[in-house]
Amino acid sequence: AWVLLNGILDEFLQQYGSLIPIHVDEVVERLQSVFSESFSSPHRKVMVQHLMQSYQRMSGTAMMRDFRVNYKRHVLTMDDLSTLYGQNWLNDQVMNMYGDLVMDAVPDRVHFFNSFFYDKLRTKGYEGVKRWTKNVDIFQKKYLLIPIHLEVHWSLVCVNVPERTVTYFDSQRTLNRRCPKHIAKYLQAEAIKREQKEFYSGWRGLFKMNVARQNNDSDCGAFVLQYCKCLALEQPFCFGQQDMPKLRRLMYKELCHCRLTL
């Protein structure tokens, strides 16, 4: 069985570059399906866990350094994917590729803005970002998703275009009043440029303060990506801090498969 276990772990390693997204239960399930006997007793589970850990420690196999995920113009390295491990902070590469996967799941409904967009808007004004949407008519979409990265914290703005609302989602519940104002001004400028008169005015800023809340300093990025996925798929937010380890593993896999698990 243990020789086979190494084979199973090798297979996961080829697929994901590391064992970061693999839960011991998945390995147990695979062993059970091959041997048609139970490996889920606490004693056997602990053994599987130990073998996974020693496998990870073996030189060279803990991580495939040259593992890459390519999707459109995105390239994720092992360094990028590792930000999904444990309590690490997600980086822009992960944020932007995942945002594209969200957008590509419902392309007619959603436009996802690159994580550098807001900073450019804040520092350079409309002139700095007016070319960012030259190939997309944002007023034809239902939702615009704009990740906000301020120093060390991620939050999200979701624009509901038909309802003209600019809603701020923050898992730490900090009130950033300037942010929706900046976005509303951007939307007005864009509407004027495109001569979309019905969008010249009437934008309202809202704060969603009763959203799933993080209770550490490291999961804000993971929360933002889950908000994006739920908003785009029009699903309720039914996750919280306790779900983050599982959701981080799922997002890692979604990135490697280049599609969302719906």
Q: How far apart are CA 28 and CA 44, in angstroms?
A: 9
Catalytic position from the list 111, 170, 182, 228: 170
Give every CB contact of residue 238 below 8 A, 6+ residues apart in sequence: none
Contact 9, 31 (CB under 8 A): no
Closest CA to 222 of 205, 240, 208: 240
Catalytic position from the list 119, 153, 243, 257: 153
DSSP reduced 3-state for 34: helix
Q: Is 243 a catalytic residue?
A: no
Count of CA atoms in the C-beta half-sphere (13 A) of 141: 22
Q: Is 50 a catalytic residue?
A: no
The CB density around residue 184, as the number of other CB atoms within 10 Å, is 20
Contact 184, 203 (CB under 8 A): yes
Helix, strand, coil share of the chain (percent; to 5): 50, 15, 35
Tokens of 158: 């979701």
DSSP structural state of residue 69 = E
Q: Is 170 a catalytic residue?
A: yes
Catalytic residues, by residue number, are: 153, 170, 220
